[in-house]
Amino acid sequence: MTSLMRLGSRAVRCRLFMSPAKPACAYGTQKKAETTSSVDKMRSDRSILEQVLVKEQEKPKTAGQKVKQGMETSMYFAIAAVSLTVLAGFAYVLFDMFFSKESPDKIFGDALKLIRRDGRCQDIFGESIAGYGEGSRRRSHVAHQRYNKDGKDRIRVVFHVKGERARGLATVEIEKDDGVWDYRFVLVETQEHPRQSHVLIDNRK
């Protein structure tokens, strides 16, 4: 009986040693090590990002450092205020140059639209009419004159017009009456002989 028990114990030990399966504790230890490594890596990456993006500014400790920081802050605010003022002025200049009713470029553009739509102007210059100021077409300057007569402000604009049939000059004048700008006259005249002229608008008294 004793010999049978010894043989059974040996058989059990042989099965345990010959089993190909890995112990469960070894798998759990390996998985825990991988998880710990991933967490450490995430912490390392986060610490680098925090150093670059959300690095806390060192607080001034001495009175001199506080004064220096205050001066730097005031300087930044002053620079921002000056920049906003310059941008506002630039925006006003652009608006006045291209969108204001008393802008020479705006007067030129609106008058050219009237000339292009006018049937008589199409008969004189052709169906395709171009307009431009003095100088080259890339750096064109619209000739204009501001003056006051009889207590009313006036602006006169002169520019070139050109079509397939002829070329000439357009003269436009607007007048400010009771705070409102309106056309005083718009006329065109050819430069070639025989000279032809046409008045599109005439509010002269």
pLDDT of 138 reads 56
104-202: CATH topology is Nuclear Transport Factor 2; Chain: A, (3.10.450)
Q: Are 106 and 100 in contact (CB under 8 A)?
A: yes
Q: Which two tokens stand for residue 124?
A: 């004189």
What is the pLDDT confidence band of residue 25, given thresholds at 50, 70 and 90? very low
pLDDT of 71 reads 80
The whole model's pTM is what?
0.54
pLDDT of 99 reads 54
Average pLDDT rounded to a whole number, residues 105-112: 95
Cis peptide before 60 (omega within 30 of 0): no
Beta-carbon contacts of residue 198 (< 8 Å; ≥ 6 apart): 118, 120, 121, 124, 187, 188, 189
Distance, CA of 27 to CA of 205 (rounded, Å): 105
pLDDT of 190 reads 97
Average pLDDT rounded to a whole number, residues 168-178: 96
Asked if pLDDT for residue 67 goes beyond 90, the answer is no
